[in-house]
């Protein structure tokens, strides 16, 4: 039996160009968001991809009254400047390309850095800010090995194991904190991590992996193996399986009927989206731009729905149940999100494979169930509001009844005083008035019985 296509392609796969978007979940409040800083330093990103339907693209259009959010791009130099400011004896000019960043295990020494294997570049920053006080920063990096990405992300663990270094013009390695640089930059925009865990920002990141090789695929199994390795952040040439990975789904490009090959495929999980793409030019920079145009908005939408549900759940737990104004405001936001901020997979795109990627993102993150839970929370809020309003109305009616009884007693006393000291005319007027009121009441009673 001959070698499989995957085995035959290993020399090509070993030379794959690699890149990733590390998508950080963020939050803000209306009082803290510095929209002036954002508009001054960030460039508005118009969503033009043909992978999304026109109606979906309007969700990112600020001219749309019910838009969900707005996308921006930010020069990576802003982050590089934050890194430079935390270091000494570093010339900012040497770091414009970001080609001399490295990450290693925290127990290793700077002398152990392999500047080819451990090196990565910061290539782009993409920011999405949504109306529900959630936001996302996608940090674009290019790296030479999957081990570098694994070192940054450390998936499955609660603590960071990484140290970051920058090499100056003399070749000296300087340690810096990538997390601190990101927090400083985000703080200028009034943004903060969604989870205040005190650990690395990247432990909660969604990872969007991209690998480019020069040869197209004849077999889907080759695509599945490579994208599975990307998902696991292991070398792409490994032949491994894991039956415990039950939440994985695969989506492929349409088979070219002339070449009988596939150009790309992807593996979708709850925390990763991994693409393998065939490109004879091996242009990873262009492919990352393409993925930013076509793929990032799709992922932003799915994560926006997920973290908005988490945000609403947290708000419900912190609002005092008697704060009717805040409850009404939260209920309004939840209804608007349910009506205008959620997208069914059937409506996301004209392309079936794009619909499937989005559907799998929703399924693996339990977003559909979380959105359905919003309906339950809205119903509970409505019932609670009705209960509070009914109790308040009963209290008011009780007070009115008490004041009514007191008023009747005061009126009776006033009538008695008038009759005791009154003349014949006052007696006659009082008696006729009472008789008239009794007649009106009797007529109203008879009329009501007839109808």
pLDDT, tens digit (0-9, with 9 covering 90-100), for 287-301: 999 999 999 999 999
pTM for this predicted structure: 0.83
Predicted confidence at residue 428, as pLDDT, reads 74
Predicted confidence at residue 87, as pLDDT, reads 43
Percent of the chain whose predicted confidence (pLDDT) is above 70: 83
pLDDT digits (tens, 9 = 90+) for 115-166: 989 999 999 999 999 999 999 999 999 999 999 999 999 887 777 889 999 9
pLDDT of 391 > 70? The answer is: no
DSSP of 193-248, one letter per residue? Answer: ESS--SS-GGGG-EEEEEEEESS-BS-HHHHHHHHHHHHHTS-TT-----TT-TT-
pLDDT of 97 > 60? The answer is: no
| Helices (H) then strands (E): counts for the chain | 15, 13
Average pLDDT over residues 258-286: 96
Q: Which structure tokens are listed for 331?
A: 């209920």
What are 261's strand-pairing partners? Answer: 256
Q: β-pairing, 206-213 with 119-130?
A: unpaired
42-61 exposure pattern, b = at least 16 Cβ within 10 A, e = fewer: beebebebebbeeebbebbe
What average pLDDT does the structure give for the chain?
Answer: 86
**CA 307 remoteness from chain centre:** 4
**CA–CA distance from 85 to each of 79, 104, 162, 176 (Å)?**
10, 21, 20, 10
pLDDT of 415 > 80? The answer is: no
Residues 165, 107: contact at Cβ < 8 Å? no
pLDDT digits (tens, 9 = 90+) for 69-86: 999 999 999 999 998 764
- CA gap 148, 232 in Å, rounded: 12
Predicted confidence at residue 86, as pLDDT, reads 46
pLDDT of 94 > 90? The answer is: no
Predicted confidence at residue 423, as pLDDT, reads 67
Predicted confidence at residue 353, as pLDDT, reads 96
3-state secondary structure of 141: strand
pLDDT of 356 > 90? The answer is: yes
pLDDT of 221 > 70? The answer is: yes
- CA gap 16, 182 in Å, rounded: 28
Predicted confidence at residue 141, as pLDDT, reads 97
pLDDT band at 381; cut points 50, 70, 90 = low
**CA–CA distance from 449 to each of 10, 168, 435 (Å)?**
94, 98, 21
């Amino acid at each position: 039996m001959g070698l499989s296509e995957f085995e035959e392609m290993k020399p090509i796969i070993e030379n794959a160009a690699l890149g990733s978007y590390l998508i950080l979940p963020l939050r803000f409040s209306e009082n803290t968001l510095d929209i002036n800083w954002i508009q001054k330093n960030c460039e508005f990103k118009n969503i033009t991809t043909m992978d999304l339907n026109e109606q979906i693209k309007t969700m990112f259009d600020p001219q749309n009254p019910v838009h969900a959010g707005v996308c921006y791009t930010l020069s990576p130099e802003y982050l590089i400047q934050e890194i430079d400011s935390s270091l000494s004896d570093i010339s900012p000019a040497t770091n414009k390309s970001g080609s001399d960043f490295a990450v290693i295990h925290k127990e290793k020494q700077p002398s152990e850095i392999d500047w080819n294997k451990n090196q990565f570049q910061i290539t782009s920053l993409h920011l999405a800010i949504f109306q529900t006080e959630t936001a996302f920063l996608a940090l674009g990096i290019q790296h030479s090995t999957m081990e570098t990405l694994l070192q940054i992300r450390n998936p499955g663990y609660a603590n960071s194991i990484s140290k970051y270094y920058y090499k100056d013009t003399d070749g000296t390695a300087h340690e810096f904190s990538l997390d601190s640089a990101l927090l400083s930059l985000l703080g200028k925009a009034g943004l903060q991590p969604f989870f205040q865990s005190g650990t690395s920002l990247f432990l909660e990141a969604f990872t969007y992996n991209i690998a480019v090789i020069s040869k197209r695929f004849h077999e889907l199994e080759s695509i599945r193996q490579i994208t599975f390795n990307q998902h696991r952040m292991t070398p792409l040439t490994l032949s491994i399986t894991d039956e415990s990975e039950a939440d994985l789904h695969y989506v492929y490009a349409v088979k070219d009927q002339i070449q009988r090959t596939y150009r790309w495929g992807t593996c979708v999980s709850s925390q990763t989206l991994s693409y393998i793409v065939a490109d004879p030019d091996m242009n990873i920079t262009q492919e990352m731009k393409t993925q930013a145009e076509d793929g990032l908005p799709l992922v932003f939408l799915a994560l926006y729905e997920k973290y908005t549900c988490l945000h609403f759940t947290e708000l419900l737990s912190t609002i005092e149940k008697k704060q009717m104004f805040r409850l009404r405001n939260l209920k309004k936001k939840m209804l608007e999100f349910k009506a205008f901020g959620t997208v069914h997979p059937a409506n996301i795109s004209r392309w079936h494979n794009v619909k499937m990627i989005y559907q799998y993102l929703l399924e693996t993150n339990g977003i559909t169930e979380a959105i359905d839970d919003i309906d339950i929370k809205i119903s509970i809020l409505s019932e609670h509001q009705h209960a509070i309003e009914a109790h308040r109305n009963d209290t008011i009616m009780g007070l009115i009844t008490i004041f009514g009884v007191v008023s009747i007693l005061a009126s009776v006393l006033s009538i008695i005083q008038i009759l005791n000291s009154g003349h014949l005319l006052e007696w006659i007027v009082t008696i006729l008035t009472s008789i008239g009121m009794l007649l009106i009441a009797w007529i109203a009673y008879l009329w009501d019985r007839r109808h």
